């Protein structure tokens, strides 16, 4: 390859050949994004949700704009709220454009409290004042709200998008791409993986040991997160999009996990759930805390997702985009009802445990081990999907197929 993309990691430099036009991402264009994702109808009402520890104080008269911090919320105001009011609503024939704030949930995909505040500081109700009265809801928050908003969308009939952890890299790459193209690529890889019976993943540790995780998929139809949320069917898009995923029916084996404090552990899996963590390097207290949580509430270890990225994107250091990068895969523990699974919040011992937590395997996120190989079995067909964090020839051929 003669030219390198200035923002892509080394392991994706070859894959940019798939889409030469992506050597430079276009400027973020809110009207283009909303039009592609939603194809909004004339007169549809749109609003934006953001979150704070003290939502009433921070949202009243946009008080948060006068304080340090709140980078996600300030980007929501600058690029979405202001953009809507500076011509985008008029251009797309939309109404509303209101900004609301709710109390930060403290965990990924935890249910939202019903209390919500408008920019004048008035206390409102999500179920009474927001969900029934808006056609499109954009949630730009600290923690993902995809699961709870998906449930509410089905109940109240709205569409929307979740864009948690929004940063400048995401804004100018993952939200600036052509979502018709993202959808086409996701569908190509969905067809290449759908009805898989099982997937095996080999992880290579720094000392050369190999850990293998086996996930049973039961021949289910693969699903896709492709960013398009058009028509009238209630739905929530997770942006940036670009993913093919399954809800595992079974799992066993071992896989490594890097914790937030840098501790590296080995997770033992049986019957579709993590049942024990063991220390490799780092803080034993971190491992002990994880084991205590698994013992207290075993549902927290249930594997609820296996996903594969489909896009050529720069690393953003936010999982919401980085799990969509071609050559990576991820698992998730916890609730999976928003993915069509059977793990719902009421099955957890405590409400705060009913999260959906992604575990991303990517070179920048998990440099302590290599994604040696990912293999799929579909009937008599056996294919390698990923080797050393690079998509296989099978995956690349699927993407380039007509």
pLDDT in tens, 299-355: 999 999 999 999 988 889 999 999 999 999 999 999 999 999 999 999 999 989 999
In this structure, the answer to whether residues 37 and 134 fall within a common structural domain is yes
CB 153 within 8 A of CB 232: no
How confident is the model at residue 26, as a pLDDT? 79
How confident is the model at residue 124, as a pLDDT? 98
In this structure, the answer to whether residues 192 and 151 fall within a common structural domain is no
3-state secondary structure of 134: coil
Q: Looking at the domain assignment, is residue 396 inside a domain?
A: yes
In this structure, the answer to whether residues 213 and 266 fall within a common structural domain is yes
Q: What is the CA radius of gyration of the chain?
A: 21
Which residue from 37, 72, 266 is spatially nearest to 171, judged by alpha carbons? 72
Q: Looking at the domain assignment, is residue 187 inside a domain?
A: yes
In this structure, the answer to whether residues 166 and 183 fall within a common structural domain is no
pLDDT in tens, 89-113: 999 999 999 999 999 999 999 999 9
- When pLDDT is averaged across residues 375-387 and rounded to a whole number, the result is 97
Domain boundary residue, one of 140, 171, 202? 171
CB 261 within 8 A of CB 283: yes
Q: Quote the CA–CA distance of 218 and 212 in Å, as a whole number.
A: 19
Residues 6 or more apart whose CB falls under 8 angstroms from that of 203 comprise: 210, 211, 212, 213, 255, 256, 361, 369, 370, 371, 372
In this structure, the answer to whether residues 356 and 208 fall within a common structural domain is yes
In this structure, the answer to whether residues 335 and 219 fall within a common structural domain is yes
How confident is the model at residue 17, as a pLDDT? 46
Q: Looking at the domain assignment, is residue 294 inside a domain?
A: yes
Q: Looking at the domain assignment, is residue 317 inside a domain?
A: yes
In this structure, the answer to whether residues 236 and 259 fall within a common structural domain is yes
Whole-Å CA distances, 71 to 98, 167, 382 = 19, 8, 45
- Residue 285's Cα: distance from chain center in Å? 28
In this structure, the answer to whether residues 134 and 199 fall within a common structural domain is no
- State the pLDDT confidence band at 401, using cuts at 50, 70 and 90: confident
Q: Looking at the domain assignment, is residue 11 inside a domain?
A: no
pLDDT in tens, 117-128: 999 999 999 999
- State the pLDDT confidence band at 1, using cuts at 50, 70 and 90: very low
Return the H-helix or E-strand segment holding 393: helix 393-400
Residue 131: which domain range? 30-171
Pairing mode, strands 381-387 and 369-378: antiparallel
How confident is the model at residue 12, as a pLDDT? 56
In this structure, the answer to whether residues 128 and 219 fall within a common structural domain is no
In this structure, the answer to whether residues 330 and 376 fall within a common structural domain is yes
Which of 8-12, 44-48, 174-178, 250-254 is the least confident region?
Answer: 8-12
Residue 11 has pLDDT above 70, yes or no: no
N-term to C-term CA, the chain: 24
In this structure, the answer to whether residues 250 and 197 fall within a common structural domain is yes
- When pLDDT is averaged across residues 285-301 and rounded to a whole number, the result is 97
Residue 242 has pLDDT above 50, yes or no: yes
In this structure, the answer to whether residues 236 and 135 fall within a common structural domain is no
Whole-Å CA distances, 361 to 295, 303, 395 = 25, 15, 18
Q: Quote the CA–CA distance of 246 and 217 in Å, as a whole number.
A: 7
Residue 13 has pLDDT above 90, yes or no: no
How confident is the model at residue 191, as a pLDDT? 98
How confident is the model at residue 10, as a pLDDT? 53
Domain boundary residue, one of 171, 202, 225? 171
pTM over 0.85: yes
Q: Looking at the domain assignment, is residue 262 inside a domain?
A: yes
Q: Looking at the domain assignment, is residue 7 inside a domain?
A: no
Q: Looking at the domain assignment, is residue 16 inside a domain?
A: no
pLDDT in tens, 42-82: 999 999 999 999 999 999 999 999 999 999 999 999 999 99
Q: Quote the CA–CA distance of 186 and 309 in Å, as a whole number.
A: 9
pLDDT in tens, 185-241: 999 999 999 999 999 999 999 999 999 999 999 999 999 999 999 998 999 999 999
- State the pLDDT confidence band at 20, using cuts at 50, 70 and 90: very low
Q: For the chain, how many structural domains are there in total?
A: 2
Phi (first) and psi of residue 186, to 5 degrees: -60, -40
pLDDT in tens, 161-194: 999 999 999 999 999 999 999 999 999 999 999 9
């Amino acid at each position: 390859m003669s030219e390198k993309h200035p923002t892509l990691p080394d392991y994706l430099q070859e894959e940019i050949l798939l889409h030469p036009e992506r050597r430079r991402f276009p400027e973020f264009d809110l009207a283009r994004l909303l039009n592609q994702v939603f194809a909004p109808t004339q007169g549809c009402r749109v609003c934006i949700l953001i979150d704070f520890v003290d939502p009433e104080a921070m949202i009243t008269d946009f008080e948060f704009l006068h304080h340090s911090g709140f980078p996600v919320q300030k980007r929501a105001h600058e690029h979405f709220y202001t953009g809507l009011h500076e011509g985008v609503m008029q251009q797309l024939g939309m109404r509303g454009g209101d900004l609301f704030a709710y109390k930060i949930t403290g965990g990924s995909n935890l249910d939202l409290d019903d209390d919500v505040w408008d920019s004048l500081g008035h206390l409102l109700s999500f179920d009474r004042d927001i969900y029934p009265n808006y056609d499109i809801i954009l949630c730009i928050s600290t923690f993902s709200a995809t699961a709870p908003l998906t449930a509410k969308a089905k109940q109240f009939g709205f569409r929307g998008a979740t864009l948690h952890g929004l940063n400048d890299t995401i804004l100018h790459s993952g939200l600036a791409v052509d979502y018709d193209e993202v959808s086409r690529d996701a569908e190509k890889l969905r067809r290449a993986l759908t009805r898989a019976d099982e997937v095996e993943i080999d992880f290579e540790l720094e000392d050369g040991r190999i850990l293998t995780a086996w996930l049973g998929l039961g021949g289910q139809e693969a699903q896709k997160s492709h960013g398009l949320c058009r028509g009238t069917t209630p739905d929530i898009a997770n942006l940036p999009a670009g993913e093919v995923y399954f809800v595992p029916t079974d799992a066993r084996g071992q896989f490594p996990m890097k914790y937030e404090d840098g501790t590296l552990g080995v997770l033992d899996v049986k019957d579709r759930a993590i049942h024990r963590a063991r220390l490799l390097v780092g803080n034993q207290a971190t491992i002990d805390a994880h084991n205590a949580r698994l013992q207290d509430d075993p549902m927290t270890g249930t594997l609820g997702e296996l996903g594969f990225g489909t896009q050529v994107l720069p690393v953003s250091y936010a999982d919401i985009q980085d799990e969509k990068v071609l050559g990576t895969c991820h698992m998730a523990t916890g609730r999976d009802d928003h993915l069509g699974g059977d793990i719902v919040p009421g099955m957890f011992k405590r409400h705060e445990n009913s999260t959906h937590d992604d575990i991303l395997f990517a070179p920048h996120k998990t440099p302590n081990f290599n994604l040696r190989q990912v293999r799929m079995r579909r009937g008599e067909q056996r294919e390698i999907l990923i080797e050393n964090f690079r998509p296989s020839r099978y995956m690349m051929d699927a993407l380039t197929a007509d």
